[in-house]
Chain A
Amino acid sequence: MRKRSQKQFLIFFVILAALMQATFLYRFRVAGVKPDILLTIVIFSTFYFEGSFCLKTALFAGFIGDVLSGGIFGLNILTFGLCGFVLPLYGQRVYRENIPIQLFICFSSVLAVYSLYYLASRVFLPLAGFIEALKMVILPTALYSTFIFGPLCIFLKKSLGFLAYENRSY
């Protein structure tokens, strides 16, 4: 089980990530998108924390994302929550200390979360077609977020004082 202080630090990083995403990150846009570090922190938490904490972190991150976003209130909570619920469930079947596997999980999770968010938003809002959204937003975001996932992982592991992967309970 992770120490309480590590969990508190992670929540602090979630708030910091939200502030950075709303203020700093637009200066680092590539192909018109910025990396979703809120979601990458949620994905990181699913590798190193137990399932119930991952879900709560995901819901909290989704809530802050919704408050600071102009989208439908509740969609980020749902999509992030789904990510925080599913990844820990199936994560036990893969060896997560392998970096390529971590990157693959990050890429596919961002892809899935963004696609779900798009499909749910489309019910309420007149967004562009799925192919255009995939080309302009979903794929670039998944690639960019995966690109920064590695350095972010190293930073968080050092900041939270992780040494090695520990067994988790759900």
Chain B
Amino acid sequence: MIIKRITWIVCALIFIAIVFLPNRVSNKIKNVFLSAFKYPLSASEVSSRNLAGLLEYKHILQSNSALRREVGLLKGRLTSFEEIRLENLRLQKLFEFKEKVLFDTVASRVIGRDTTNWFNTIIIDKGTNDGIREGAAVLSCSGLAGRVIEADGGVCRVMLLTDPVSRVAAKIQRTRDEALLEGVYKGLCRMKYLPLESKIMQGDKVVTSANSGLYPEGLLIGEVISISHDASSLYTIALVRPEAALMKLEEVLCVKEVKSSF
């Protein structure tokens, strides 16, 4: 009886000690078991999408025809943009503009999401074997989605912008005001420490700042949906809706390396 109690107390102390393990060690342990869940998660995610497809069949048909119309319009605009692009190339060479930087990316599928309601992370099916490193930026087709926080051989965990722990150096594209973007609950972000005299408006686009260090500059983050002042009236706060549909991500692009285009 006493030995049993001592065993349980020792086990409890071990479990408490696990919480205080360094991140490197706990991430390694997590990733070993996460890799084992990769294929069951992929299978489950595929079933989930098929089920969602069946349930949303009518909506899919409607959005399909709307998208076809939009593609037709965009094809027409693309032709005129091609002319502008060629003219831009000529002008850049002429005036020796600064090089535009492109990214080398790897596409991956989302195979799982955070099991808790506290954090907003996703699990993707590519890892270090595909050239993805911890800290790599993750993009969706419409904007920045987050960054890689844990990477293993075949899987990665990505922290989304709306995660309460996420912090991104961002700026308002129009006014060039820089501030800190953090995730809040309910799928939104909040830009803190904007100057009081900032001329920020609803609808302003938010992009990554050069001060970020983690993310390439100029990546689209989202749009301002409301503006307020903090309780102490020392700075302005803006609520930002991410451009990427983070709750519905199915495929993402992970930045492998930043490269020049010219």
A60 CB to closest chain B CB (Å) equals: 12
What residues of B have a CB within 8 angstroms of the CB of A121 in the complex? 118
9 closest pairs, A vs B, by CB? A70-B121, A74-B18, A73-B26, A74-B19, A136-B185, A22-B112, A23-B44, A32-B186, A70-B119
Residues of A bordering B, CB below 8 Å = 18-24, 26-27, 29, 31-34, 36, 38, 59, 64-78, 81, 117-118, 120-121, 125-128, 132, 136-137, 140-141
Interface residue range, chain B:
35 or more
User: How many angstroms from the CA of A68 to the CA of B19 in the assembled complex?
Assistant: 16
Q: Which of B15, B112, B157 contacts A77 (CB 8 A)?
A: B15
Q: Which of A70, A72, A141 contacts B163 (CB 8 A)?
A: A70
The reply to whether the CB of B227 lies closer than 8 angstroms to some CB of chain A is no
Across the interface, name the chain B residue whose C-beta is closest to A26: B113
User: How many angstroms from the CA of A13 to the CA of B118 in the assembled complex?
Assistant: 23
Across the interface, name the chain B residue whose C-beta is closest to A78: B15
Is the pair B37, A36 in contact by a Cβ cutoff of 8 Å?
no
Main secondary structure of the interface of A (DSSP, over half): helix
- Contact (A67, B114) CB under 8 Å given A73-B19, A73-B26, A126-B165: no
The reply to whether the CB of B176 lies closer than 8 angstroms to some CB of chain A is no
What residues of A have a CB within 8 angstroms of the CB of B19 in the complex? 72-75, 78, 120
Q: Which of A68, A132, A141 contacts B112 (CB 8 A)?
A: A68
Is the pair A127, B26 in contact by a Cβ cutoff of 8 Å?
no
- Contact (A137, B121) CB under 8 Å given A22-B113, A29-B247, A65-B116: no
